[in-house]
């Protein structure tokens, strides 16, 4: 059952309209955790019926309900409740059964006589034999699934209901077996069912015995305050004899009951029919076939009561003493053998407890681990006092127990100690081999972070020799037929040898042979995931399609495994990691991450619920959320700002780092979450000072703690690239930061960082530097050449990533803007940008971030048309469409609002050049304000919105028919205020200085129109320094400002 918060509380379903039309007088009869039963009248056939519906819309539960109907309908017996109809209407599955005018056996039991109880159980056993003959095992027999209806003559008629867990076990031979997950009600489960092991008809015989036990004693065989504790007791304890719990029953009936409850299936009745026959013999006063084991004391009392045997018994006793004396020399060996058996059972019990815990509904398994570790502590205390013969079995039991709770280093030490003591059963080989393989996986991840290839290769060879080779040899030596399906051992060996396809086939075969072996299904998923990574690096044009299909198949395999082991932390963590990998791969290939994130998030939350303090699980969840938040902030997706996603990412990463202080990946995960926060703020035009500072601290701590690994340097370079944008906003030189970031990337790649991602990050640095060079009127051509060179290198290493085309389009856009600023044609660079955008549309269709570049390309073309004296209408329409689409999809990204404001300014400039004016001249400023006013917050660090608003004021003034109006004064005041706000953020911003100078010149005209020569002279005096400052900051503005400079310098 998923944790609360992930699924809604089930609501009582409404009876589908089709069933309401079919039946009359529908009334609620009762409801449980997952189902609801209604009583209704069938007018066609004139009978009362029970209609069963589900509370959940889970497809698996739908299938179970219909399976229940099919199973129950196959059994034709007077004591099995008949099914009249079943199917699905209006999307809801249903079963229609005979309405039983009675009550559950558990409720009726206190009012029954002993004979009535036995008669009911005899009838139920006979009915179950009929089901068994059809190859069905019920798996959930209990007093609650037996309804008892009073008969006209005073008799009682039981009916078996709820075949929802019934499983096929073959063609009726009675003892064919099949694997099963843990399903049923713990108090009535046979040990093999509780362990998720092989079941057959004798599993139901046990449940019949448990039901009889409760009828006779008033309680089931095992009672405790939690289901998992009951399962633990089933795994390790014998049920208490009936008469020891206060049940006053005949000895024969106790013998029948306890025979059903034998822990070993072979000691139970071989069939439900045999049980029914023995119960019939009891009712008829005949001798039953079941026998109670006799204790020595009871045997002795019998002899004492029979005096004629006393002398003989005395001689027998003397002979026995003699035999004991003769055999005394063998007692130590016998004791050792018994100890080995005892400890073997203890080890199996601990494993069974954990396996049962994993197969229970989703919950925190640390309580079961604590119970196992408590037992292990007791065994470890026995080591110091144990004799030599006991050392091996003790170490063996402790090792298996440690393996069951995931204490791998301790498990290896104890299992090796058992071998050194000369105790080495086949099960030990299997346990030690499994332990070594798990340790190999852990060490493998650690070694792969080593930057130096030669050192990494040498260390990998070391861990292969230390763990993998002996593990595979041990698995080969183990008696696989006794331990697991042979195919599973073959699958393990193939997987660790890198033969993923062979591993997939063998793992699927193993699961087919033993459906309780969820590890096989998980291994199949891991093999598919391994194949998908090979697809990614294959260079095939259809690689993503093949890879995507394999990842989906891997997730399906994991889900099948989870259907069996709903609380296994390792399985759930593996599903979480696979979900993260799938989401990342989809994003890499241009697909939206949100759909895959939803599935991965559920898997990660389940993993945390199952093992909330596990450092690896906390880090896996943090990885998923950090990558998702970074994807949403870096490649904005349609919808609101991902503030919650970013907050969650930072929170989870902050939780994971203290739990993983010696894991570089934990530092990187927190850094990624903080970079997502930085991007979120940057996209709003806000300087992310706090997150930059924290991210820098985290990455620098990681670099200091793990100097051989280069990935942290690569990530820190990304932080610096974001700082470059803030420095550009502030007007300080970005070149020192760019050089530092490039040096970090060089250092990182020398230490093993991803070459292709380093290439992409180099390109982003060059792009930020290129914008800064544009602001300064310096040529970005060389820097763009280096950016495009890095992008080509990265694409050659990792073909298919959409980011390369996106950055290439932006690089050509910068080249076009530079050419336009120099008075040259931008058309060549614009054509290159359009080509890159088309490639981007193919690899990642509909990306919001592409609309920004697309709009800017059209805007540059429109500006060029204005300069050439041509109508810019068509490119302006394209620019407006691109920016408007982006603003609608991601309204929290400032650049789209800036783009729309620039469209209005270009349109206004064209209108002024054509001599068009408006009555009030406010159209442009109103349009620009509409776009930009929502962004004017105190934290806004990007000066461009203020520059554009100041330019809109200047343009509106140029459109005014009379410059002496009050409107002109208001526009001037507002324009100067906007220019001042821009210069407060960047005192050296050439565009802000230029618009300030133009406003001073416009003020001259307003003052002259108002006959105020003093004010006009003062405005002219201030215009020239502002315009010259603009030219000094960006010499390319001189051509644009030439006439303004001449006007300002004129006496």
pLDDT of residue 320: 45
Q: What distance in Å separates the CA atoms of residue 997 and residue 1034, rounded to the nearest whole number?
A: 14
**Nearest partner of 748 among 732, 733, 765, judged by Cα:** 765
- Indicate if the pLDDT at residue 756 is higher than 60: yes
Cβ atoms of 571 and 518 within 8 Å: the answer is yes
Strand partners, 87: 94
In the chain, CATH 3.30.200.20 sits at 17-98
Please state whether 82 falls in left (phi above 0), alpha (psi between -120 and 50) or beta: beta
Cα 841 to chain centroid, rounded: 29
Q: What distance in Å separates the CA atoms of residue 617 and residue 610, rounded to the nearest whole number?
A: 10
Q: What distance in Å separates the CA atoms of residue 796 and residue 526, rounded to the nearest whole number?
A: 28
Question: What does residue 424 show for φ and ψ, rounded to 5 degrees?
Answer: -145, 70
pLDDT of residue 87: 80
Average pLDDT over residues 806-830: 96
Q: What distance in Å separates the CA atoms of residue 696 and residue 792, rounded to the nearest whole number?
A: 29
**Reduced to 3 states, what is the DSSP secondary structure of residue 968?**
helix
**Nearest partner of 548 among 590, 520, 509, judged by Cα:** 590
Q: What distance in Å separates the CA atoms of residue 392 and residue 387, rounded to the nearest whole number?
A: 10
Q: What distance in Å separates the CA atoms of residue 391 and residue 373, rounded to the nearest whole number?
A: 19
Per-residue burial over 939-967, b if 16 or more Cβ lie within 10 Å, else e, is ebbbbbbbbbbbbbbbbbbbbbeebbbeb
Cα 470 to chain centroid, rounded: 33
* Neighbour tally for 1051: CB within 10 Å: 3
Poorest-pLDDT segment among 175-179, 499-503, 766-770: 175-179
Could you read off the pLDDT of 771-800 as tens digits, one per residue? 999 999 999 999 999 999 999 999 888 887
**Strand runs (DSSP E) across 99-242, as ranges?**
103-104, 136-137, 146-150, 156-160, 167-168, 178-179, 198-199
- Indicate if the pLDDT at residue 963 is higher than 70: no
Helix spans in 844-965 (H): 848-867, 873-889, 894-913, 923-932, 944-959
Q: What distance in Å separates the CA atoms of residue 525 and residue 554, rounded to the nearest whole number?
A: 4
Widest Cα–Cα separation across the chain: 149
Structure tokens at 497: 């040898």
Tabulate helix, strand, coil % of the chain (nearest 5): 70, 5, 25
**Strand runs (DSSP E) across 715-861, as ranges?**
none
Average pLDDT over residues 547-553: 93
**Reduced to 3 states, what is the DSSP secondary structure of residue 552?**
helix
* Neighbour tally for 699: CB within 10 Å: 27
Poorest-pLDDT segment among 438-442, 497-501, 938-942: 438-442
Cβ atoms of 514 and 485 within 8 Å: the answer is yes
Cβ atoms of 412 and 446 within 8 Å: the answer is no
Residue bearing tokens 């890499």: 588
CA 214, 219, 222, 226 torsion-angle sign? positive
Q: What distance in Å separates the CA atoms of residue 1032 and residue 851, rounded to the nearest whole number?
A: 33
Could you read off the pLDDT of 229-276 as tens digits, one per residue? 787 788 778 899 998 887 788 999 999 999 999 988 989 999 999 999
**Nearest partner of 597 among 608, 582, 609, 607, judged by Cα:** 582
Label residue 560 exposed, middle or buried (CB < 10 Å: 0-12, 13-18, 19+): middle
Structure tokens at 868: 């050439």
Structure tokens at 183: 């399903």
- pLDDT bin (cut points 50, 70, 90) of residue 589 is confident
Strand partners, 7: 4
pLDDT of residue 297: 38
Average pLDDT, the chain: 85
pLDDT of residue 482: 45
Tell me the CATH class for 103-292. Answer: mainly alpha
Any residues with CB less than 8 A from the CB of 224 and at least 6 apart, and which? 230, 233
Q: What distance in Å separates the CA atoms of residue 532 and residue 524, rounded to the nearest whole number?
A: 12
Structure tokens at 535: 């697809």
Q: What distance in Å separates the CA atoms of residue 512 and residue 560, rounded to the nearest whole number?
A: 12
Could you read off the pLDDT of 704-738 as tens digits, one per residue? 988 777 788 899 999 999 999 999 999 999 999 99
Average pLDDT over residues 372-380: 89
Could you read off the pLDDT of 28-67 as tens digits, one per residue? 888 765 678 899 999 988 999 999 887 655 565 566 666 6
- Indicate if the pLDDT at residue 333 is higher than 70: no
Architecture in CATH for domain 17-98: 2-Layer Sandwich (3.30)
**Nearest partner of 85 among 169, 149, 18, 32, judged by Cα:** 18
**Nearest partner of 878 among 897, 898, 899, judged by Cα:** 899
Q: What distance in Å separates the CA atoms of residue 378 and residue 341, rounded to the nearest whole number?
A: 17
Structure tokens at 265: 């299936």
Helix 711-730 vs helix 689-705: crossing angle, to nearest 10: 150
Per-residue burial over 671-688, b if 16 or more Cβ lie within 10 Å, else e, is bbbbbbbbbbbbbbbbbb
Any residues with CB less than 8 A from the CB of 853 and at least 6 apart, and which? 806, 809, 810, 813, 833, 837
Which CA distances in Å does 643 have to 87, 625, 669, 677?
A: 46, 12, 17, 8
Q: What distance in Å separates the CA atoms of residue 1012 and residue 441, rounded to the nearest whole number?
A: 84
Cβ atoms of 460 and 437 within 8 Å: the answer is no
Please state whether 238 falls in left (phi above 0), alpha (psi between -120 and 50) or beta: beta
Q: What distance in Å separates the CA atoms of residue 20 and residue 26, rounded to the nearest whole number?
A: 8
Superfamily of structural domain 917-1051: Tetratricopeptide repeat domain (1.25.40.10)
pLDDT of residue 293: 52
pLDDT of residue 893: 95
Could you read off the pLDDT of 996-1026 as tens digits, one per residue? 999 999 999 888 888 899 999 999 999 999 9
Which CA distances in Å does 129 have to 134, 136, 173, 271?
A: 9, 9, 12, 7
Structure tokens at 947: 């520059």
Question: What does residue 52 show for φ and ψ, rounded to 5 degrees?
Answer: -105, 130
Could you read off the pLDDT of 474-529 as tens digits, one per residue? 877 764 444 456 788 788 888 888 899 999 999 998 888 777 788 999 999 999 99
Q: What distance in Å separates the CA atoms of residue 689 and residue 703, rounded to the nearest whole number?
A: 21
Q: What distance in Å separates the CA atoms of residue 657 and residue 667, rounded to the nearest whole number?
A: 6
Cβ atoms of 845 and 837 within 8 Å: the answer is no
Q: What distance in Å separates the CA atoms of residue 116 and residue 138, rounded to the nearest whole number?
A: 23
Any residues with CB less than 8 A from the CB of 611 and at least 6 apart, and which? 364, 365, 366, 569, 572, 573, 617
pLDDT of residue 305: 41
DSSP 93: E
Residues in the chain: 1051
pLDDT of residue 821: 95
Cβ atoms of 1004 and 1026 within 8 Å: the answer is no
**Reduced to 3 states, what is the DSSP secondary structure of residue 87?**
strand
Poorest-pLDDT segment among 37-41, 79-83, 87-91, 327-331: 327-331
- Indicate if the pLDDT at residue 175 is higher than 70: no
pLDDT of residue 166: 46
Average pLDDT over residues 99-104: 91
Q: What distance in Å separates the CA atoms of residue 26 and residue 12, rounded to the nearest whole number?
A: 14
Which CA distances in Å does 553 have to 501, 543, 631?
A: 13, 15, 24
H or E stretch at 839: helix 827-843
- 5, HSE (Cβ side, Cα atoms, 13 Å): 6
* Neighbour tally for 283: CB within 10 Å: 12
């Amino acid at each position: 059952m998923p944790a609360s918060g992930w699924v809604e509380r089930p609501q009582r379903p409404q009876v589908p309209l089709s069933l309401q039309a079919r039946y009359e007088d529908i009334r609620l009869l009762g409801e449980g955790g997952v189902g609801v039963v209604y009583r209704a009248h069938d007018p066609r056939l004139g009978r009362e019926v029970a209609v069963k519906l589900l509370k959940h819309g889970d497809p698996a539960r739908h299938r179970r309900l219909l399976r229940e109907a099919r199973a129950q309908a196959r059994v034709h017996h007077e004591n099995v409740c008949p099914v009249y109809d079943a199917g699905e209407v209006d999307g809801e599955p249903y079963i229609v059964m005979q309405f039983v005018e009675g009550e559950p056996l558990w409720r009726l039991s206190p009012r029954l006589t002993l004979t009535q109880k036995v008669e009911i159980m005899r009838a139920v056993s006979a009915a179950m034999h009929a089901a068994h003959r059809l190859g069905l095992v019920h798996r959930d027999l209990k007093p609650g699934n037996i309804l008892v209806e009073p008969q006209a003559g005073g008799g009682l008629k039981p009916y078996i209901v709820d075949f929802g867990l019934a499983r096929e076990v073959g063609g009726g031979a009675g003892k064919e077996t099949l694997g099963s997950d843990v399903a049923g009600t713990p108090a009535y489960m046979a040990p093999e069912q509780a362990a998720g092991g092989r079941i057959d008809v004798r599993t139901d015989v046990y449940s019949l015995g448990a039901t009889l036990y409760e009828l006779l004693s008033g309680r089931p065989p095992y009672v405790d305050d939690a289901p998992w504790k009951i399962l633990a007791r089933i795994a390790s304890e014998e049920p208490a004899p009936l008469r020891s719990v206060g049940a006053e029953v005949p000895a024969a009936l106790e013998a029948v009951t306890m025979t059903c409850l034998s822990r070993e299936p072979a000691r139970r009745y071989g069939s439900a029919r045999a049980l029914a026959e023995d119960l019939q013999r009891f009712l008829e006063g005949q001798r039953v076939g079941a026998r109670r084991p006799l204790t020595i004391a009871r045997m002795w009392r019998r002899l004492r009561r029979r005096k004629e045997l006393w002398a003989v018994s005395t001689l027998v006793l003397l002979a026995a003493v003699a035999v004991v004396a003769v055999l005394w020399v063998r007692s130590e060996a016998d004791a050792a053998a018994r100890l080995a058996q005892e400890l073997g059972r203890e080890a199996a019990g601990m494993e069974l407890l954990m396996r049962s815990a994993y197969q229970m509904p989703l919950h925190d398994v640390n309580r079961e681990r604590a119970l196992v570790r408590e037992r292990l502590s007791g065994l470890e205390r026995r080591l110091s006092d144990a004799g030599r013969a006991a050392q091996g079995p003790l170490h063996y039991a402790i090792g298996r127990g440690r393996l069951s709770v995931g204490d791998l280093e301790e498990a290896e030490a104890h299992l090796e100690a058992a071998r050194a003591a000369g105790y080495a059963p086949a099960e030990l080989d299997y346990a030690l081999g499994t332990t070594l393989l798990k340790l190999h996986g852990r060490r493998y991840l650690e070694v792969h972070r080593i930057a130096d290839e030669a050192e990494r290769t040498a260390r990998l060879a070391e861990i292969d020799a230390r763990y993998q080779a002996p593990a595979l040899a041990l698995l080969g030596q183990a008696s696989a037929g006794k331990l697991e399906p042979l195919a599973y051992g073959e699958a393990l060996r193939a997987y660790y040898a890198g033969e993923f396809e062979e591993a997939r086939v063998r793992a699927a075969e193993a699961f087919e042979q033993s459906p309780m072996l969820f590890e096989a299904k998980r291994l199949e998923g891991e093999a598919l995931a391994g194949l998908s990574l090979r697809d990614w690096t294959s260079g095939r044009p259809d690689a993503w399609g093949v890879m995507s299909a394999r990842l989906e198949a891997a997730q399906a395999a994991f889900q099948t495994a989870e259907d069996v082991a709903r609380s296994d932390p390792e399985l759930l963590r593996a599903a979480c990691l696979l979900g993260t990998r799938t989401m990342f791969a989809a994003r890499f290939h241009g697909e939206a991450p949100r759909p895959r994130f939803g599935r991965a998030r559920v898997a990660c939350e389940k993993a945390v619920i199952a093992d909330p303090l596990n450092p690896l699980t906390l880090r896996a969840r943090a990885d998923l959320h950090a990558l998702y938040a970074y994807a949403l902030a870096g490649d904005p997706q349609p919808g609101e700002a991902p503030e919650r996603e970013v907050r969650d990412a930072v929170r989870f990463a902050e939780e994971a780092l203290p739990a993983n202080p010696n894991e570089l990946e934990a530092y990187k995960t927190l850094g990624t979450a903080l970079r997502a926060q930085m991007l979120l703020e940057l996209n709003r035009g806000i300087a992310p000072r706090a997150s930059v500072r924290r991210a820098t601290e985290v990455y620098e701590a990681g670099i200091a703690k793990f100097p051989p690994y280069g990935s942290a340097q690569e990530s820190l370079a990304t932080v610096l690239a974001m700082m470059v944008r803030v420095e550009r906003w502030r007007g300080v030189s970005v070149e020192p930061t760019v050089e530092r970031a490039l040096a970090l990337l060089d250092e990182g790649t020398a230490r093993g960082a991803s070459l292709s991602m380093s290439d992409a990050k180099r390109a982003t640095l060059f792009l930020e530097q290129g914008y800064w060079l544009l602001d300064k009127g310096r040529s970005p051509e060389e820097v763009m050449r280096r950016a495009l060179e890095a992008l080509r290198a990265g694409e050659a290493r990792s073909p298919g990533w959409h980011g390369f085309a996106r950055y290439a389009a932006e690089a050509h856009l910068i080249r076009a803007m530079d050419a336009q600023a120099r008075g040259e044609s931008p058309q060549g660079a614009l054509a290159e940008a359009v080509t890159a955008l088309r490639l981007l549309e193919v690899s990642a269709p509909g990306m919001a971030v592409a609309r920004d570049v697309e709009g800017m390309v059209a805007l540059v073309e429109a500006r060029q048309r204005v300069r050439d004296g041509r109508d810019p209408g068509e490119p302006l329409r394209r620019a407006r469409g691109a920016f408007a689409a982006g603003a609608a999809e991601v309204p929290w990204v400032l650049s789209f609002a800036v783009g729309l404001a620039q469209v209005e300014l270009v349109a206004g400039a064209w209108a002024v050049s054509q001599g068009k004016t408006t009555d009030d001249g406010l159209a442009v400023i109103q349009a620009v304000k509409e776009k930009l006013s929502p962004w004017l917050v105190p934290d806004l660090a990007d000066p461009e919105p203020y520059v554009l608003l100041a330019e809109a004021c200047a343009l509106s003034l140029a459109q005014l028919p009379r410059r002496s109006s009050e409107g002109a004064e208001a526009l001037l005041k507002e324009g100067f205020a906007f220019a001042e706000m821009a210069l407060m953020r960047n005192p050296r911003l050439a565009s802000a200085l230029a618009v300030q100078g133009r406003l001073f010149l416009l003020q001259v005209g307003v003052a002259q129109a108002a006959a105020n020569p003093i004010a006009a002279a003062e405005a002219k005096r201030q215009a020239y320094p502002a315009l010259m400052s603009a030219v000094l900051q960006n010499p390319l503005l001189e051509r644009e400002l030439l006439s303004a400079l001449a006007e300002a310098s004129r006496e």
